Structure 1
Amino acid sequence: MIEISPPDKRALARWFPTHSPGPATIGEHVLATGIGRWWADRPVQPSTVAVSCAGHVVLRGSPEELTPELLAPLAGNRVEAPARFLPALSAAFDRLTPWERMIWTLQATPQPATVPHAVTVRRLEPADADAVRALGPDASWLSASWGGPRGLAASGHAWAAVGRTGRIHAVACTYFRGTGYEDVAVYTVLGHRHHHLALSCVTSLCADITSRGHTPSWDCSLHNHGSRLLAWNAGFRLVREYVHYAVGSPVSHHRLSA
C-alpha cells in the first residue's frame, strides 16, 4: 500500500463505514484530526483503501489485486476487514490472529459512583500533559489516537480523576471521535482500581459526549471481563460483535519465492 492524501467526506463515505459505532469511527477521527494515515493500492482509481490510527486499520475495497508486498506496510496492526480479505492477509503476514470484539452503546443510566474527597474528576487541560506522560509506558496506548500525551491533554475529550498533587489516578477519553459516535477508552493506575474512579471518569465523559449531540460507544475484547463489567455499570449495552485480526510481520521474500 502507498500513502495517499486524506479523502474528502464524500469519498470517505463511499469507501468506509460512517455514522455507526465501532471501526467506523476510525476513519472519521483521522479525517477530523489529521492523526493517522491513509493508504491505497495505487494513487489513481484504487481498488483497495485503508485508514490507520493508533495501531488500528480499517481495510476496504476489492482484494483481488493485493500482493504481500502491497500489504506489508500494515504489519503489526489490528486490521478490521471483510472476510474476502482473509486469504490476502494470510498470504502477506506470518501471523493472523482473530480477536473477537464487542461493540456497546450508551443506553441506560450509569450506576452511581463516589470518589474519595482527595480526588477531583475533571476535564484534562493542556497543562496536564506532563501528568498524562507520567502514567508511563503502560498507558501510552491511551493517548496514541491523539498524537501523544500533549495531544490528549489538549483535546478537550478526556476526563480524569486527579489527586491533590496533580497525579492522575484514572482517565477516560474519546479514543476515536466519529460524526455520530465517540468511542470511549479508559485507563486506571494500578493501586487505584476498585475505587469507582474509572466509572466516575467514564460517566463524566459520557455526559460531555452526549452534550455534543453524539452517542458514546464502547469497543472491547469479548474476553475482557473487566472492561465489559465497567461498560455495563456505566450504562452501555451490547449492540453487535465483530472480529478484527492482529497481523504479524510481513512474510519473508524467501517464503514468497519458495
Structure 2
Amino acid sequence: MIELAPDQLPPLARWFAAGSPGTAALAEHVPASGTGRWWADRAPAPRALAVSCAGHVLLRGDPRALAPDALAVFDAHYVQAPAGFLPALSGAFGRIVPWERMLYVHQVPVAAPCPPHGVTVRRLVPEDAAALAALAPDAAWVHASWGGPAGLAASGLGWAAFGKDEVLAVACTYFHGTAYEDIACYTDPAHRRRRLALACVTALCQDVAGRGHTPSWTCSRDNRPSRLLAWTAGFRLAHEYVHYLTGQPARRGPAPDAPSDHPAAAVPGDTKAPPR
C-alpha cells in the first residue's frame, strides 16, 4: 500500500461509520489529532483504504485490489478488518494471531473513590509532559495515540493521580471520536491495588460525559483485571470481536507505527490496560 497525504484522502464517510465506539473511533481520531497515517492501494480512486495509529490498523474496502505483500507495512500491528481481508493478511505474514476482544460502553455513573492521603487526582496540563515521560518504558503506549507525552498532556483529555510531582496512574481518551471516546489507563506497578486507576477512570468518564460523548473500553477477553476495572467503573459489555496481531512479513517494508513499547508485553493481546 502507499501512504496518502491528508489532501489525497477520499470522502471518509463511505469507508468508516461515524460515531463508532472502541478502536473503530481511531478513524475519527487520526484527522482530529494529527497522529496516525493513511494508506491505500492507489492514490486516485482507492479501492482499499487503511488508517493506522498507535500500533492499530483499520482496513476497509476491496481486499482483491491488494497486491500479495501490500499489507506487509503493518508488521507487529493489531489489525481490525472484515473477514474478506484474512487471505490478504495470510499472504503478507507468516504469523497472524487472533485475539478475542471485548468492547464495553459506559452505562452506570460511578462516584470517584477518595484518593489515598498525599495523592491528588486532576486533569493533565501541558506542564505535565515531563512527568508523563518519566513513567516506566512499558507505559509509553498510553500516550502513543497522541504522538507522545507532550501531545497527551496538551490534549486536555487525560487525568492522572499525582504523588507530589510524580504520575502514579493515568487515564486518558485514547481514540477521540465524534460520539464515543475510547479510553485507556495505566498504573505504575508500585502503586497498583490502591484504586488509583479507578479514581482516574471515573474522573475521566465524568469529563467525557460533560462533552456530550460516551466512554468506551476495549480489552482482551483474557485480561480479567481490565474487565473487572471496566465493570467497577460502570462499563457494560456491548459486544465481542477479534483483531489480529501480525508478524513475520513475507517481505519487509517500513513499519508505519510499529508499537515498540506496547502493553502486549504485560498482557498478551491487550492494548489498553495492563494488570493493576
For the aligned pair, the TM-score class normalised by the smaller chain equals: over 0.9
**1:65: how far off?**
2.2
Matches of 2:64 and 2:251 in 1, distance apart? Answer: 21
232-241 or 62-71, which deviates more: 62-71
2:128 is paired with a residue whose SS is helix
Asked if the contact 1:111/1:233 (under 8 Å) is kept, the reply is no
Q: Give the CA RMSD over aligned residues.
A: 1.6
Matches of 1:134 and 1:98 in 2, distance apart? Answer: 33
Equivalent position of 1:218 in the other structure:
217
Q: Any idea what the Cα deviations from partners look like across 1:145-191, whole Å, max 9, x if unmatched?
A: 00001111111000000012x10110000000000000010000012
Q: Any idea what the Cα deviations from partners look like across 1:19-44, whole Å, max 9, x if unmatched?
A: 12013201100011110000000111
**1:7: how far off?**
6.7
Matches of 1:252 and 1:179 in 2, distance apart? Answer: 37
Asked if the contact 2:72/2:251 (under 8 Å) is kept, the reply is no
Matches of 2:106 and 2:68 in 1, distance apart? Answer: 40
Q: Any idea what the Cα deviations from partners look like across 1:3-56, whole Å, max 9, x if unmatched?
A: 012379982121013212013201100011110000000111111000000000
Equivalent position of 2:86 in the other structure:
86
Bigger Cα Rg: 1
Asked if the contact 1:38/1:52 (under 8 Å) is kept, the reply is yes
Distance 1:40 1:9, change over 3 A: closer
Q: Is 1:183–2:182 an aligned residue pair?
A: yes
How many pairs are equivalent? 252
Asked if the contact 1:176/1:184 (under 8 Å) is kept, the reply is yes
- What TM-score, normalized by structure 1, do the two folds share? 0.94
Matches of 1:180 and 1:200 in 2, distance apart? Answer: 23
Matches of 1:7 and 1:50 in 2, distance apart? Answer: 15
**Correspondences of 1:1-258 after superposition (within 5 Å):** 1-6=1-6, 11-110=11-110, 112-164=112-164, 166-252=165-251
Matches of 1:10 and 1:202 in 2, distance apart? Answer: 36
Matches of 2:87 and 2:18 in 1, distance apart? Answer: 26
1:129 is paired with a residue whose SS is helix
Asked if the contact 1:54/1:145 (under 8 Å) is kept, the reply is yes
Gaps of 5+ in 1: 254-258
Asked if the contact 2:216/2:235 (under 8 Å) is kept, the reply is yes
Q: Which runs of 4+ in 1 moved over 4 A?
A: 7-10
Q: Any idea what the Cα deviations from partners look like across 1:183-222, whole Å, max 9, x if unmatched?
A: 0100000121111100000000011101000000001111
